[in-house]
């Protein structure tokens, strides 16, 4: 058995974190914003075995609201849950998340927590670091969650060309996390004209992959999006993780199936 069918849920409204690489600026929004109950109701007739609390915005801007959404999802559907965040939880919030994790394990379900970073000193190229925790604080949070026994993925995503985010920063991220997380997950930077403009780049500044698609974006935005060619960077990161004994994945579904033992 393996996890195959996933759905995505996010609170409505523009994400205040305003990461310049993020497609959520162009994401269609529900007006007026739905309540948590309405978001959960929208899944009632869908076929899925795992819910991603992620996609159109950061769902843990208010960590209590994000945790409550996860609790409500499990109470309704008794499903596996994947959380992806750029925020951190304090001690009390971590204990609440741990209680949910224990309940889920008693029912044979898994909670996965993905913590996102893009770099260290260069992270300010795309992240507004005045609005949320530093990359170092997020890495420390991921390590704390891992030692609570929760499947913890550190996301070096999106992966930028090393001319923008130097490879030495990815290596230091791996060094900081090795032995204290479940795995590292990465994925290429994706751009459209609006994202390029926010990043201050021209289309000619980057190389692109032919074709390419992302299920993660299904239903999130309209229009085409290009995958930046970071094959060399991805290979370097994969090999560095291998040398450090850190499981590495380019897609989240294989990662969570591996962690769940499927």
- Report DSSP letters for 174-236, one per residue: HHHHTTSSSEEEEEE-EE-HHHHHHHT--GGGS-B-SS---GGGTTT--S--EEB--HHHHHH
Whether omega for the bond prior to residue 231 falls within 30 degrees of 0, making it cis, is no
**Comparing C-alpha atoms, which of 187, 184, 185, 248 is closest to residue 213?**
187
Question: What was the pLDDT predicted at 28?
Answer: 74
Question: What was the pLDDT predicted at 220?
Answer: 46
Question: What was the pLDDT predicted at 138?
Answer: 98
Contacts of 117 (CB under 8 A, 6+ apart): 86, 123, 135, 138, 139, 154, 155, 156, 173
How far is residue 253 CA from its own chain's centroid?
12
For residue 153, what is the enclosing H or E element?
Answer: strand 151-159
Tokens of 69: 């959404």
By CB atoms closer than 10 A (0-12, 13-18, 19+), residue 17 is middle
Question: What was the pLDDT predicted at 30?
Answer: 76
Contacts of 242 (CB under 8 A, 6+ apart): 248
Whole-angstrom Cα distance, residue 56 to residue 35?
15
How far are the Cα atoms of 158, 178, 191, 231 from residue 188, in angstroms, in the given order? Answer: 5, 22, 10, 8
Q: What residues in the chain have per-residue pLDDT under 50?
A: 215-216, 218-220, 222
């Amino acid at each position: 058995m393996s996890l195959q069918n996933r759905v995505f849920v996010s609170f409505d409204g523009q994400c205040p974190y305003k990461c310049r690489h993020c497609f959520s600026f162009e994401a269609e929004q529900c007006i007026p914003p739905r309540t948590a109950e309405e978001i959960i109701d929208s899944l009632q007739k869908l076929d899925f075995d795992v819910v991603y609390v992620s996609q159109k915005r950061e769902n843990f801007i208010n960590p209590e609201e994000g945790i409550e959404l996860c609790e409500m999802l499990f109470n309704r559907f008794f499903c596996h849950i994947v959380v992806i965040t750029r925020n951190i939880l304090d001690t009390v919030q971590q204990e609440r998340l741990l209680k949910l994790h224990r309940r889920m394990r008693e029912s044979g379900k898994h909670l996965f927590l993905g913590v996102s970073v893009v770099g260290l000193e260069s992270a300010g190229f795309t992240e507004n670091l005045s609005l949320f925790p530093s990359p170092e604080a997020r890495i420390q949070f991921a390590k704390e969650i891992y030692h609570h026994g929760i499947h913890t993925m550190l996301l070096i995503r999106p992966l930028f060309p090393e001319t923008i985010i130097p490879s030495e920063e990815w290596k230091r991220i791996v060094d900081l996390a090795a032995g204290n997380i479940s795995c590292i997950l990465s994925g290429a930077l994706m751009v459209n004209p609006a994202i390029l403009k926010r990043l201050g780049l021209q289309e000619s500044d980057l190389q692109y992959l032919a074709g390419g698609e992302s299920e993660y974006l299904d239903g999130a935005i309209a229009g085409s999006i290009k995958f930046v060619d970071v094959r060399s960077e991805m290979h370097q990161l994969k090999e560095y993780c291998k040398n450090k004994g850190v499981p590495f994945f380019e897609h989240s579904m294989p990662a969570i199936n591996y962690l769940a033992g499927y």
